A and B are shown apart, each in its own frame.
Chain A
Amino acid sequence: MALLVQGEIVSHMERAPGVFMVEFIAPNLATVARPGQFLHIRCSEGNDPLLRRPISIHAVDRDRGRVGILFQVVGRGTALLARRKDGVIDVMGPLGRGFSTGSHNLMRAGSIAVVGGGIGAAPLFFLLQELARCGDPARVKVLLGARSANQILIKEEIENLGYTMELATDDGSVGHRGQVTELLLKLLPEGVSYVYACGPAPMLKAVCAFLSEAGIPGEVSLEERMACGVGACLSCACQVKAAGGGVHYRRACVDGPVFPAGEVVW
């Protein structure tokens, strides 16, 4: 059940060049939102750009009734949204099927790896909030990758939740020089039993390949162009393995955006 919310903006910050963090008041939304779900946000007041933008839920403060988004400016819609520093934002949500954070994952023997690439770190913070609330941060290893040190997002916030972290950057300006997936490949044999990942498609493709080879389960959050956000328009089709063999299209907006790593067809 999604809500239609006019959320009053209470904070607005440029966290990295072109990456914005916006927090707004939405107590009911904060109560029902689950990690990995997303919001469908109207960026313009008029008819252009026309469509809402799907943006993941970055953080939830249930006590104060606040919801946060962390997004990168990639086009006209997000540029308009970034300029909105106060007033209200028009939000539909929470939408989609998020990460499964049930006890079946937390109770597994071994450790959990949470892997984020670039702006893909955004929804993982909400996941880490939830894992910290109902699990043991010491059993979770966070791996973050980005182009450069100044694009590594929310490092301090994640550390404040009690997690240990490894970083990778393309230019080596902080952490491992190279891909975050290389860190995952090294970590997998050390007793990883479950993996959550969000990031650009090539990164998720590599994550799925590594998991399949190692026989380790996990979940990945996909990104697709969307129109309705509620499963009606069939715009956000992504190819997923069908139960009886073969492949079929599923809707990223309601069947995802989070899918079991073994089901996605790349």
Chain B
Amino acid sequence: MINTTVNLGGIKMKNPVATASGTFGFGLEYQQFIQLEKLGAIIVKGTTPAPRQGNPPPRIAETPAGMLNAIGLQNPGVNKVAGEIIPRLVHLNTPVIINIAGDTVEDYALVANKLDGVPGVAGLEINISCPNVKKGGIQFGSDPRSAAEVTRAVKAATKLPVIVKLSPNVTDLVAMAAAVAEAGADALSMINTLLGMAIDVDRRKPVLGNITGGLSGPAVRPVAVRAVWQVYRAVKLPILGMGGIMTTRDALEFILAGATAVAVGTANFVNPRATIEIIEGIENYLREQGFNNINQLTGLAHAGI
């Protein structure tokens, strides 16, 4: 019997594979392709206090082995998410984690407080790393003191497990991770997208309506694996690793680097069954390689280094 269950800072997952926020809607869009119950966790789209329209199009641009996005946190607001959307997910036997965002520390606390005790919510992922909105997001994600302040405010506003999603667009990721760990985060998720941009040479203008956007897909994977590796060595919190995971072997890289669980994002667009294939692939790997518990793999690549 192979044990694939993991504990991500108090969130119990039946397997280590989640869907990354923003790439999976509220999950319902993918029910036509996969059984949502098979997922380790579902992390839904960034939710803010009030509804947001998002950025002007074009919102995406394809880049080598990746894509840029600048959606701009379009979402129906926390009241609608809590009142109308989560009730449609509550029957699922899989944890639903809500990604939360805001313009101010108070915004984050408000959203966290409104989601506290809502049936069907298993945890919160604090988005302090969205590169596509003018206020909030990345400004909290690039300064350790601001990140710690948001983390403390959210922890005070909820009893739910709190995961902090870190940005790679910083000089010292380990300092960020240490600051939010100190402030009471239950887990870390990394990495959010890398800030990037593309220019249309024919029109001689930026491709994206927002000018800059977040880079995701296989192109960013080595950056993400490195981030997990460094933070695992420095901070004793479970890590949800993500960044360009397309296949089982990609997911295993993150786990071996130190991730307790992984999230699959951009791959959902290419292969809507990617998560399920990775869950099955990890089980096969464990069996074939003679492991009986997924947790034996976490950080294993550090052995002897």
Contacts and interface: CB of A to CB of B under 8 A. Distances in A.
Interface string B223-237: 000000000000000
Given A48-B64, A235-B69, A230 B22 contact: no
A230 B217 CA distance: 18
A147 B270 CA distance: 34
Residue of A1, A47, A49, A51 ringed by the most chain B CB atoms within 10 A: A47
A37 B45 CA distance: 26
Interface string B67-106: 1010100100000000000000000000000000000000
Contacts of B32: 1-2, 230
A241 interface: no
A249 B71 contact: no
A227 interface: yes
Interface stretch (B54-62, B252-260, B284-292): B54-62
Interface residues of B, number: 33
A158 B241 CA distance: 53
Contacts of B71: 233-235
Interface stretch (B2-10, B23-31, B123-131, B183-191): B23-31
B266 interface: yes
A232 B25 contact: yes
Interface in A7-62: 42, 47-52
Contact of A233 (B66, B217, B246, B269): B269
A4 interface: yes
Contact of B33 (A2, A50, A233, A235): A2
A230 B59 contact: no
A225 interface: yes
Contacts, number: 91
Interface string A210-241: 00000000000000111111111111111000
Interface string B119-162: 00000000000000000000000000000000000000000000
A92 interface: yes
A249 B66 CA distance: 25
Residue of A224, A225, A231 ringed by the most chain B CB atoms within 10 A: A225
Given A47-B218, A48-B65, A225 B60 contact: yes
A248 interface: yes
A235 B207 CA distance: 13
Nearest to A226: B60
A130 to B, nearest CB: 23
Contact of A47 (B25, B60, B65): B65
Contacts of B196: none
Given A50-B266, A51-B67, A234 B59 contact: yes
Nearest to A3: B32
Contact of A227 (B53, B60, B65, B74): B60
A248 B53 contact: yes
Nearest to B60: A235
Interface in A175-210: none
B84 to A, nearest CB: 16
A77 B266 CA distance: 17
Contacts of B266: 50, 227
Contacts of A224: 57-58
Nearest to A228: B269
A232 B30 contact: yes
Contacts of B114: none
Interface in B256-276: 266, 268-270, 272-273
Contacts of A237: 54, 57, 59, 74
A48 B53 CA distance: 31
A34 to B, nearest CB: 16
Contacts of B54: 234, 237, 249
Contact of B268 (A47, A232, A234): A232
A238 B270 contact: no
A225 B69 CA distance: 11
Given A227-B69, A234-B74, A51 B270 contact: yes
Contacts of A49: 62
A230 B218 contact: no
A222 to B, nearest CB: 11
A234 B57 CA distance: 10
Interface in B17-63: 22-25, 29-30, 32-33, 45, 53-54, 57-62
Nearest to B58: A225
Contacts of A234: 45, 54, 59, 71, 74
14 contacts: A2-B33, A47-B217, A51-B270, A224-B58, A225-B57, A227-B60, A227-B266, A227-B269, A228-B272, A232-B25, A232-B30, A233-B69, A234-B54, A238-B57
Given A50-B218, A233-B269, 13 more contacts: A4-B273, A48-B64, A50-B62, A50-B67, A52-B269, A227-B60, A228-B269, A228-B272, A232-B29, A234-B45, A235-B71, A237-B59, A249-B54
Interface of B: 22-25, 29-30, 32-33, 45, 53-54, 57-62, 64-67, 69, 71, 74, 217-218, 246, 266, 268-270, 272-273
